[in-house]
Amino acid sequence: MDLRSVYSKVYVLRLGHRPARDKRITTHVGLVARAFGANGFILEGVCDEAVFESLRKVLKVWGGSMVLECGVKGENYVEMWRGSGGEVIHLTMYGLNVDDVIDVIRVSAKPKLIVVGAEKVEKFYYEASDYNVAVGSQPHSEVSALAVFLDRLFRGRWTNIIFEGAKLKIIPHSRGKMVIDVGE
């Protein structure tokens, strides 16, 4: 089953991207979003073409589709999301433990906006979010927090997603690399 049929939208909003130093980590947030079952990646503040170029390349070769947006004002996006019936989940080490809230989040069919920060996240997001969720109460990274959260949300079933339109497919192999060309 394609997980996107359970929730119409699971989008990731990445706050505070600094083009001079965050290209790689922001790209990794986008790659985790795609691979772990989200269907939208929104970059707040700036439009960093290098990040989107990398994500588009992965989508072209490995398939799948995602809504990609940039340059939005984070606060407006969160308010618009909630106003249109969605719920907002802010990942922060100060939040409630993921194990204590994930079942409630999972059963709600509302579109989900998952917010991750870079450095300091403004108070607004703590107050405006439906859930402030901690993936353990220790600082680590937006990439790891997002991966663990999505894995829990989808109970690990994201590993079975079939990415439509893929040109390449990996055949799992005990040694070496086996990749087949499935594109036209």
Site for ligand SAM (CB under 6 A): which residue of 92, 130, 147, 153?
92
> 89: left (phi > 0), else alpha (psi -120 to 50), else beta?
beta
Lookup: tokens for 13: 């909003």
Q: Is 153 in the site for ligand SAM (CB under 6 A)?
A: no
Q: Is 88 in the site for ligand SAM (CB under 6 A)?
A: no
Cα separation of 128 and 150, whole Å?
21
Instruction: Give the span between the Cα atoms of 105 and 116, in whole angstroms.
Output: 17
Q: Which residue lies nearer to ligand SAM by CB, 95 or 111?
A: 95
116 binds ligand SAM (CB under 6 A): yes
Site string for ligand SAM, 30-69 (x = CB under 6 A): ----------------------------------------
Q: How far apart are CA 157 and CA 169, in angstroms?
A: 18
Sign of the four-CA dihedral 5, 7, 9, 10: negative
For the bound state, the minimum distance from the C-beta of residue 3 to ligand SAM, rounded and expressed in Å, comes to 21
Is position 93 an interface residue for ligand SAM (rule: CB under 6 A)?
Answer: yes
Query: What residues line the site for ligand SAM (CB under 6 A)?
Result: 91-93, 116-118, 121, 134-136, 138-142, 145
